[in-house]
Amino acid sequence: MDGDGNGMPCMPGKTLDLIFGVDNLGKWLEANMVLNPSHYPVGARIAGPQLLALLACELGSGVKYHVGPKVRVGGVRVKYGVVQMDVMKSDLQGWDTLHLSGRMQKPVVLLKWNADMASAQYSNLERSLGLARILLPEQFSEFDLWRKTTELSYRGDVRTYFNAEDPLKAPKIVHGTGFQLFRDLYAPVLHGVAGKGLNHVSTGVTLSRVVVDGSISGWRFSGFKDDLMLKQDKSLATMVKMFCLLPIWMLSSSAQSLGLRRATPTIQYLESLTPGIRREAKMDLAGTLLRRHGTGVVAATLVQALSAFNLRSSLRQATFGILTAGPAVAWSYGLRKLRKGSGAHLRQRMYI
């Protein structure tokens, strides 16, 4: 659940964002159309739940959003999305669209979860932290780290081309959320591969297990109040490990951008390998790229690949949303985003 962009329930007058994971999207939409027909424009009701579910996966990112002036719960304006659990899990594990996985790289309020999805979310956070480390220098602040993980899913978003997104959204989310929620979210993966070679420069900081009702529920930072300064190992061996956390499509795109098209295994071939052999192949490819071009050059190609991927993904989701929300709702929602984004751009220019 997301509220005003900072992972907390929204204040009155703002929109509350909700995501529901279901076993069968078509059946859920069918039941919801009966219970809440006002949440669906005439065109969506004519198309029917099964076609909407098919279009959500084939055209969009797998999520069917419900938004508009009539979509309210207890008088609170709500935008809620519905997605099949297997689609959500796949995106968390492989960054299929980065739509939901991007949202989950920031603190949100989980209403209900399970161990299977928690494992997929661990992979998502591990990959997010690994990519952030690749893009960051040897020494950086804690704010830089959380800003970098937050902005990954916004790079190349189609809304940025129309000034419909706040250019300062990532730092605002970090400041609005507060460091502690980011620390709690990423603490588990900091003790895995993604955290190797990452150390704090400040002293007196400790990590402790959080125990609730006799069971360990996570980790918590303690012993400081201010922004930490962090230092990471940027050696070839460590960076290869960070690169191996990335999805196959990102590594493949980077290799092709740097002229290794013939020497790069196809995505289909890599995905057909067993996990152990696939990891070795990714390590070989990452090592070759880094030895030939260096971390900085390869990192730049990753940013290009990420931006192009996000553009395609967000354009697909926007197209699906316009087709299924109805012209009136799409126009109203688009204008609201444009006003919000344009105002943010104007404020940014005023302070430069």
Whole-number pLDDT of residue 113: 83
Say if residue 209 is exposed, middle or buried (CB neighbours under 10 Å; 0-12, 13-18, 19+): exposed
Q: Is residue 285 part of a domain?
A: yes
Domain holding 56, by residue range, is 16-347
CA distances from 160 to 15, 150, 169, 223, 344 (A): 21, 15, 11, 39, 12
In a domain, 294, yes or no: yes
Residue 4 lies in a domain: no
- The total domain count for the chain is 1
The answer as to whether 151 is a domain residue is yes
Residue 7 lies in a domain: no
Long-range contact list for 26-31, CB < 8 A, 24+ apart? 26/50, 26/52, 26/53, 26/54, 28/82, 29/53, 29/64, 29/82
Is 199 part of any domain?
yes
Q: How far apart are the first and last CA of the chain?
A: 34
* Spatial contact of 207 and 219, defined as CB atoms under 8 Å apart: yes
- Opening angle at CA 60, ends 57 and 65, nearest 5: 100
What pLDDT sits at residue 137?
96
Is there a domain that residue 47 lies in? yes
* Integer Cα distance of 316 and 30 in angstroms: 23
pLDDT for 335:
47
At 317 the pLDDT is 87
Sign of dihedral through CA atoms 173, 178, 180, 181? negative
Determine, yes or no, domain membership for 2. no
- For residue 340, what pLDDT is reported? 55
CB 310, CB 153: distance < 8 Å: yes
Q: How far is CA 235 from CA 145, 294, 303, in A?
A: 19, 10, 20
For the chain, residues with pLDDT lower than 50 are: 1-11, 203-224, 331, 335, 338, 341-352
Q: What pLDDT does 16 receive?
A: 83
